[in-house]
């Protein structure tokens, strides 16, 4: 049997599985046709990394095909291209996301024939290809990728994958935070990377009545989906209809090189009765409040401690041990901020609000910044 045969069978099974779980956007027939028209395997390199380990199309073709049509992410770049992803080492910096995650986020776009779409984060080009199929020849897709090598590979993938009757997305190399003003205004702005704040350029380049959909606020927690509609005055009003964990926009990454050390001189030592696990593994709604009331805080959840890092200041950090001693937990904080105190205060602010769920929160975005609110825009939390 040729590769096209098993690929189509695998894809049909995967689409059926995702439709049953409610991930397939509507109209279901349109999305099913788009998924079949864009061969997913065309966007997967011969060697890559998966949650189950490395894949190599030449050495183990069956394992490679299984990974391509499994509902799991495939890491295609590590450490911005300086580490071979097949080693499993380093930090993933580009991937072909799990199809359920791709479709979940794209469902909030409410794409239609003829839409003009700005995509932030081309990656392999797969999402841009799906978008192009949905918006049709009357629509257009501009995709911005900060990494020139990724953009070059995506261009080859798109050429190989898209049918001759498709309108090929325009690929731009640049910082996604700047958008692409030359083809504005857009009906939709879709980010395939996570942001701490929505860049002003995205708001300015979206037409009134248009929509921005992006993974949002991942430094501390898993992250959510922000769905923001643009009003005639240029203000964005949105909600958080679900959770979504994506790699950060490169220009909004937290800084590296924190010299956090339990024995570092100058650390302020205290003890707390708050179990750090309570804060570290709080619901997504609490994470959202923490990211606003303790801005810039990033978390690392180790086996023995919760590490809190200021994503903008490498000298600012906190370590809270998970081992309880005499009903208390030891805290060490360093730098200009008391990150543990800020994070705990933000967590209990969420508790004091009545533990509201994620879908009760909303976001107002203007040129002056963002405001987080509960239930209605005039009930501002931050």
Residue positions annotated with a catalytic role: 97
Does residue 77 sit in helix, strand or coil? strand
Residue-wise DSSP of 350-369: HHHTT---GGGEEEEEETTE
Total length of the chain: 382
Interacting residues of 26 by C-beta distance below 8 A, sequence separation 6+: 107
* Measured CA distances, 259 to 139, 169, 335, 362 (Å): 49, 43, 11, 36
Bridge partners, 48 (sequence order): 55
Radius of gyration of the chain (CA): 22
Contact 141, 117 (CB under 8 A): yes
Residues 333, 271: Cα–Cα separation, whole Å: 11
Contact 223, 115 (CB under 8 A): no
Bridge partners, 370 (sequence order): 365
Residues 142, 164: Cα–Cα separation, whole Å: 18
Q: How many helices (H) and strands (E) does the chain have?
A: 10, 18
- Give me the residue label for tokens 């009765």: 273
Does residue 235 sit in helix, strand or coil? coil
């Amino acid at each position: 049997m040729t590769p096209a045969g098993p690929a189509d069978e695998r894809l049909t099974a995967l689409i059926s599985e995702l439709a049953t779980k409610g991930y397939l956007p509507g109209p279901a027939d349109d999305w099913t046709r788009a998924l079949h028209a864009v061969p997913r395997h065309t966007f997967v390199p011969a060697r890559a990394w998966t949650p189950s380990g490395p894949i190599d199309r030449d050495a183990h073709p069956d394992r490679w095909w299984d990974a391509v049509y499994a509902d799991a992410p495939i890491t295609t770049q590590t450490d911005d291209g300086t580490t071979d992803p097949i080693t499993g080492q380093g930090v993933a910096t580009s991937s072909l996301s799990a199809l359920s995650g791709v479709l979940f986020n794209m469902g909030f776009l409410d794409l239609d024939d003829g839409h003009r779409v700005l995509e932030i984060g081309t990656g392999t080009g797969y999402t841009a290809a799906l978008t192009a199929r949905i918006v049709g020849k009357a629509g257009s897709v501009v995709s911005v990728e900060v990494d020139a090598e990724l953009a070059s590979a995506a261009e080859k993938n798109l050429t190989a994958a898209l049918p001759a009757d498709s309108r090929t997305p325009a690929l731009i190399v640049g910082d996604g935070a700047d958008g692409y003003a030359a083809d504005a205004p857009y009906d939709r702005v879709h980010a395939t990377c996570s942001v701490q704040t929505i860049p002003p350029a995205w708001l300015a380049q979206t037409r009134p009545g248009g929509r921005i959909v992006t993974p949002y606020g991942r430094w501390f927690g898993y992250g959510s989906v922000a769905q923001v509609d643009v009003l005639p005055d240029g203000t964005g009003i949105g909600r958080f209809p679900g959770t979504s964990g994506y790699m950060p926009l490169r220009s909004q990454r937290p800084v590296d090189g924190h010299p956090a050390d339990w024995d570092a001189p100058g650390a302020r030592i205290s003890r707390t009765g708050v179990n750090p696990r309570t804060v570290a593994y709080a619901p997504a709604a609490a994470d959202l409040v923490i990211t606003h009331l303790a801005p810039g805080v990033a978390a690392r959840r180790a086996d023995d401690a919760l590490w809190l890092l200021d994503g903008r200041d490498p000298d600012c950090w906190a370590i809270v041990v998970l081992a309880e001693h005499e009903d208390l937990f030891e805290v060490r904080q360093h730098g200009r901020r008391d990150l543990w105190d800020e994070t705990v205060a933000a967590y209990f602010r969420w508790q004091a609000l009545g533990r509201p769920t994620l879908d009760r929160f909303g976001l107002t975005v203007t040129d002056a910044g963002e405001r987080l609110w509960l239930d209605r825009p005039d009930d501002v939390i931050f």
